[in-house]
Structure 1
Amino acid sequence: MAHAVLKVNQSTIQQMKNTYQSAILPSTPPHAHFAAKVSGCTITAYQSGKVVFQGNEAEKEASRWGNPGSNDKKTKTKTTKSLPTFLKESHMGSDEAGTGDYFGPITVACVYATSEQQELLRELGVRDSKTLTDDTIRSVMKDVLLTDITYSSVVLDNPRYNQLKAKGWSQVKMKAWMHHHAIKNVREKLGEQSFEGTVVDQFCEPATFHKAVRETGEQSFDDLTFMTKAESYSTPVAAASMLARYRFLQEIDRISEKVGFSIQKGASNIVDRQIARLIKQKGEGTLNEIAKTHFANTQKAKKLL
Structure 2
Amino acid sequence: MAHAVVKVNQSIIQQMQNTYQSNILPKTPPHAHFSAKVNGCTITAYQSGKVVFQGNEAEKEASRWGKAETNDKKKKNKTNRSLPAFLNDSHMGSDEAGTGDYFGPITVACVFATKKQQELLRELGVRDSKTLSDDTIRSVMKDVLLTDIVFSSVVLDNPRYNQLKSKGWSQVKMKAWMHHHAIQNVRKKLGNSSFEGTVVDQFCEPSTFHKAVRETGEQSFDDLTFMTKAESYSTPVAAASMLARYRFLQEIDRISEKVGFSIQKGASNIVDKQIARLIKQKGTGYLDQIAKTHFANTQKGKKLL
TM over 0.5: yes
SS state at 1:86 partner: helix
**Distance (whole Å) between structure 2 residues aligned to residue 130 and residue 302 of structure 1:** 31
Give the % identical residues. Answer: 90
- Asked if 1:238 is matched to 2:238, the reply is yes
Aligned match of 1:118: 118
Pairing 1:1-305 to 2, within 5 Å after superposition: 80-305=80-305
5+ long unaligned stretches in structure 2: 1-78
Q: CA deviation at 1:81?
A: 2.4
Aligned residues: 227
The TM-score, its normalising length taken from structure 2, stands at 0.74
Structure of larger gyration radius:
1
1:135 counterpart letter in structure 2: D
Tell me how far apart the structure 1 counterparts of residues 286 and 257 of structure 2 sit (CA, whole Å): 14
Tell me by how many angstroms 1:189 deviates.
Answer: 0.2
Q: CA deviation at 1:82?
A: 1.1
Q: Secondary structure at the match of 2:225?
A: strand
* Aligned-partner Cα distance in 2 for 1:155–1:207: 24
- Structure 1 equivalent of residue 33 of structure 2: none
User: Deviations along 1:105-151, whole A, 9 cap, x unmatched?
Assistant: 00000000000000000000000000000000000000000000000
Matched AA of 1:301:
G
Q: Report the Cα offset of residue 92 of structure 1.
A: 0.1
Output the CA distance in 1 between the equivalents of 2:114 and 2:203. Answer: 25
Question: For the residues of structure 2 that align with 1:171 and 1:233, how far apart are their CA atoms?
Answer: 25
Matching residue's letter, 1:139: S
Instruction: Measure the CA separation in 1 of the matches of 2:81 and 2:88.
Output: 14
Q: Please state how far the C-alpha of 1:80 moved relative to its aligned partner.
A: 3.9
Q: Could you list the runs of 5+ residues in structure 1 that have no partner in the other structure? A: 1-78
1:173 deviates by 0.0
Report SS of the residue matched to 1:199. strand
The whole-number CA distance in structure 1 between the counterparts of 2:159 and 2:302 is 20
Code of the residue aligned with 2:236 in structure 1: it is P
Cα distance in 1 for residues equivalent to 2:80 and 2:228: 14
Q: Which amino acid aligns with 1:144?
A: V
Q: Aligned to 1:87, what secondary structure does the other structure show?
A: helix
Partner of 2:43: none
Structure 1 residue 287 displacement after superposition: 0.2
1:190-242 Cα distance to aligned partner (Å, 9 max, x none): 00000000000000000000000000000000000000000000000000000
Counterpart secondary structure, 1:92: strand
Q: Matches of 1:264 and 1:81 in 2, distance apart?
A: 40
SS in 1 for 2:85: coil
**SS across alignment from 2:88:** coil
| Superimposed CA distance per residue, residues 172-201 of structure 1 (whole angstroms, 9 cap, x where no aligned partner) | 000000000000000000000000000000
Q: Distance in 2 between matches of 1:167 and 1:92?
A: 32
Runs of 4 or more, structure 1, over 4 Å off, are: none
Letter of the 1:198 partner, please give it.
Answer: T
Distance 2:153 2:269 in 1: 30
